[in-house]
Amino acid sequence: AQTVTQSQPEMSVQEAETVTLSCTYDTSESDYYLFWYKQPPSRQMILVIRQEAYKQQNATENRFSVNFQKAAKSFSLKISDSQLGDAAMYFCAYNAGNNRKLIWGLGTSLAVNP
């Protein structure tokens, strides 16, 4: 069965510092997609970054980058120069094939301290 695990229920970071959120997944598929979504207290789920499994290069979106280790089935999110607006729940999600449904981790609550 495909599963996504986020082992850090809560994290905190000082403003302007860097934080890394962990995600591991289990799959027998070779072609799939991984996502990090952010859900602020306003609850609107927003896509942060996407990684295609067939791409070796790690995805980057401004201050957000991933460390994708396919063999280890690891997909961590690094947030650089953390801002107060980064405080939110962060969810790791997986999608493969024609299934189209996203499989989610339980999330990591990130607090940003001024």
Partner 1 sequence: EAGVTQSPTHLIKTRGQQVTLRCSPISGHTSVYWYQQALGLGLQFLLWYDEGEERNRGNFPPRFSGRQFPNYSSELNVNALELEDSALYLCASSYRGHSYNEQFFGPGTRLTVL
Q: Contact positions toward partner 1, by CB under 8 A?
A: 33, 35, 37, 42-47, 50, 52, 91, 93, 95, 99-107
Measured from the CB of residue 88, what is the shortest distance to partner 1 in angstroms? 13
Measured from the CB of residue 102, what is the shortest distance to partner 1 in angstroms? 6
d(CA 99, CA 29): 12
Residues 102 and 95: beta-carbon distance below 8 Å: yes
Measured from the CB of residue 75, what is the shortest distance to partner 1 in angstroms? 14
Measured from the CB of residue 80, what is the shortest distance to partner 1 in angstroms? 23
3-state secondary structure of 14: strand
C-beta closer to partner 1: residue 97 or 114: 97
C-beta closer to partner 1: residue 54 or 83: 54
Q: What is the DSSP string of 46-108?
A: EEEEEEETT--SPPEETTEEEEEETTTTEEEEEE-S--GGG-EEEEEEEEEGGG---EE---E
C-beta closer to partner 1: residue 50 or 70: 50
